[in-house]
């Protein structure tokens, strides 16, 4: 890791950018306190294509439609609990 004051960074900015691109940890300080870290931007992903979207659609998991009637939902839960308890 290399640490540089704002004044040093101003004078060597291009060099510090090159060092960060090569993977070096570069920190810029103000009054002795770290305030900025230079790091290379990661490689951007390629744009999504129609084929990518179709691939996702084919593999999408669909959820069952929710029961609109709360009474039926609660009753079904109770029935499942009763069945589970009877199996013990």
Q: What would the pLDDT profile of 32-52 be if each residue is shown by its tens digit?
A: 999 999 999 988 889 999 999
- Percent of the chain surpassing pLDDT 90: 59
Segment 50-79 shows an average pLDDT of 86
- Whole-model pTM: value is 0.49
**Domain architecture of the chain: domains with CATH:** 2-38 (3.40.1620.10)
pLDDT score for 15: 96
Query: Who's near 2: CB < 8 A, 6+ residues apart?
Result: 16, 19, 24, 25, 26, 27
């Amino acid at each position: 890791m290399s640490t540089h004051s704002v004044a040093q960074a101003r004078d060597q900015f291009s060099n510090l950018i090159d060092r960060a691109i090569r993977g070096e940890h570069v920190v810029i300080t103000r009054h002795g306190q770290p305030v900025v870290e230079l790091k290379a931007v990661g490689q951007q992903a390629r744009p999504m294509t129609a084929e990518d979207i179709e691939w996702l659609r084919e593999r999408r998991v669909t959820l069952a439609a929710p029961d609109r009637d709360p009474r039926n939902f609660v009753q079904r839960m109770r029935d499942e609990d009763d069945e589970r308890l009877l199996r013990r």
